[in-house]
Amino acid sequence: MSARTKKPKQSQPVPEKLATPKKVERSRTTSTNMSSPAQPSEAEYRSPSPLNISRVDEKEELAHLNDRLASYIDYVRKLERDKESLTRRISTITEERLAKVDDARKTYENEIQSLRRLVDDLAKEKAARDVELKKHIDDASDAKSKLNKRDAELRNLQRKYDTLERDIGAYKADHERYQKLLPEFEDLEKNLEAAKEGLKAETILRTDLENKVASLREELDFKDRLFQEERSKLVMHTLTVEEEVAETKAMEFESRLADELQAYRDSANEELEQYRFQMESTFQNKLEQLQKANEEANRDGGRLTEELTIMRRMNDDLSHELARKSREVELLHGRIADLEKLLNKTHDDYQAQLAAEREEIKRLRSELEQRFAEFTDLMNTKVVLDQEILMYRKMLEGEESRLNLTSPKRHSAFSGGFMSAKKRRLDSGDGFDEESGSSGSQTAIRVSTSSVGSIEFSADQDGSGKWVKLGNVGKEDINLGNWVLKHKSDGEEVTYKFARNVTLKPGTLCTLWSSDAGATHNPPEDIVMKNQSFHTGANITVTLTNDNEEEQASCLIVRESRPKLISRRFRAGATKSDEKCSLM
């Protein structure tokens, strides 16, 4: 009876397995005992006996229990029918889901196989494109070297042309100086002609003066003879007069005649002396004037002769210089004509070659741009395909983990990290629970590498600034001593210089870690920088230069964010296996 005094339990949700009839009956009994005080029987008003009361109560209780048992059995049967219906529905859904999963798996596997083949084809085509790109780069380098050689030849020709220009300038300066000296030379020739005319005039004047001097001397001699004749005549006359006077008035006029004769003699002597003195002074003056004129004429003639000699010598020198300069001018004109022809020919050849090289460079640039555009399209297609493959792989891994299946994993050259928003779960008592994933973002990392030697960056790079990986793809050991690695990210640069003892063997990889990455320093495979850390960003550029500051390899890491697909998951509640169906 202690079980009857207990409170009835609240109605619970339908359990996974049905309770036994014994437990159900106990529950019904407990409920009846608890409800009997609430329903008084008619025997209480009639005051029956305790035995009747007990039997009536037991009868009513049994009836009530039978009713409850019947209703409970009906409810249990209904639950069993619902369970069978739900079981059939779950079986149907499970079979449909398994069929869909198998179909989807087959479809995904076929698609993945085709995508893998496409990726392999793209990788092969990319390798071929890389070979062609390297070939075109080598061709461009050869064209550039040829262009530099042509530029050097052009500079040599330009220097020769400048030398010829300077020679022509010197010739022009000499010609201008000759042109400037030519009027002076003509003036000197005119002066020479004038000097010659003056010399002729002076010579004529000297001759005239000499003739005049000769005529004056003859005149002086003639006058002297006349004077002597006059004197002799006068003496004869005087003697005659004296004889006559002596004859006529010898005695009478002797004293007077003597006095007059003496006076006449004295006056004649005085007149003669005076005339002689005048004639001598006049002759002396004339002679001195003629001598001075002769001396001046001689001096002028000597000076003019010297000037004439100098002018003749200068004329001869200028004539020789003019002839030499004329020959030099003719030679220079011929040389200039030859050089102009050579320069024009060289310039035409250079212009033609330069035009051809420019056309070749233009063609190579257009081809490089086309190749780069094709490579960019291929890389974009590869990124999209890698994302699709990664998404399919995630879906397949989820399905395989849910179905406890295993499959071989294949790593792609494209590495991507995913950041998804947190999911929330809405639980309810019955039916299906819906778990909705909010739309998040997907971060993809695109890696582009290039190298000129055996050292190159790996396609597997970290975009979060933890490490940088490079390797030796050659067949010989390479010493990285004093090589410099530069890591640039959004304007921030980190520089690391390798130690002298770092040597990479063929086919080995070297990972350079940030100081805060928590890695272990194990050179040359793992090198941890001291007090330096790589930065992260949308665009990361990594370059590697050797000890001669020549770039050997480069790597471009681009982080791209794309919206992630929304996923919904449904699970069946109150099932033993707690199976879930994921729909993408």
Q: How far apart are CA 70 and CA 142, in angstroms?
A: 101
pLDDT < 50 positions in the chain: 1-47, 408-440, 563-584
Sign of dihedral through CA atoms 60, 62, 67, 72?
positive
The pTM is what? 0.27
pLDDT number for residue 257: 62
pLDDT number for residue 485: 92
Kindly report the backbone phi and psi dihedral angles of residue 370, in degrees, each rounded to the nearest multiple of 5, phi listed first. -65, -45
pLDDT number for residue 76: 80
Q: How far apart are CA 370 and CA 498, in angstroms?
A: 38
pLDDT number for residue 222: 82
pLDDT number for residue 254: 61
391 within 8 A of 565, measured Cβ to Cβ: yes
Q: How far apart are CA 546 and CA 524, in angstroms?
A: 17
Q: How far apart are CA 431 and CA 418, in angstroms?
A: 32
Nearest residue to 511 via CA among 573, 461, 576:
461
Q: Tens digits of per-residue pLDDT, 55-104?
A: 677 677 777 777 777 777 888 888 888 888 888 888 888 888 888 888 87
- For 431-463, letters b (16+ CB in 10 Å) and e give eebebebeeeebebbbbebebeebbbbbeebbb
Q: How far apart are CA 582 and CA 398, in angstroms?
A: 9
Q: Tens digits of per-residue pLDDT, 244-288?
A: 666 766 566 566 666 776 777 777 777 777 877 877 777 777 778
Sign of dihedral through CA atoms 179, 180, 181, 182?
positive
pLDDT number for residue 471: 92
Nearest residue to 536 via CA among 442, 466, 454, 470:
466
Sign of dihedral through CA atoms 468, 469, 471, 477?
positive
- Enumerate residues 6+ apart whose C-beta is below 8 A from 562: 387, 441, 442, 444
Q: How far apart are CA 26 and CA 153, in angstroms?
A: 116
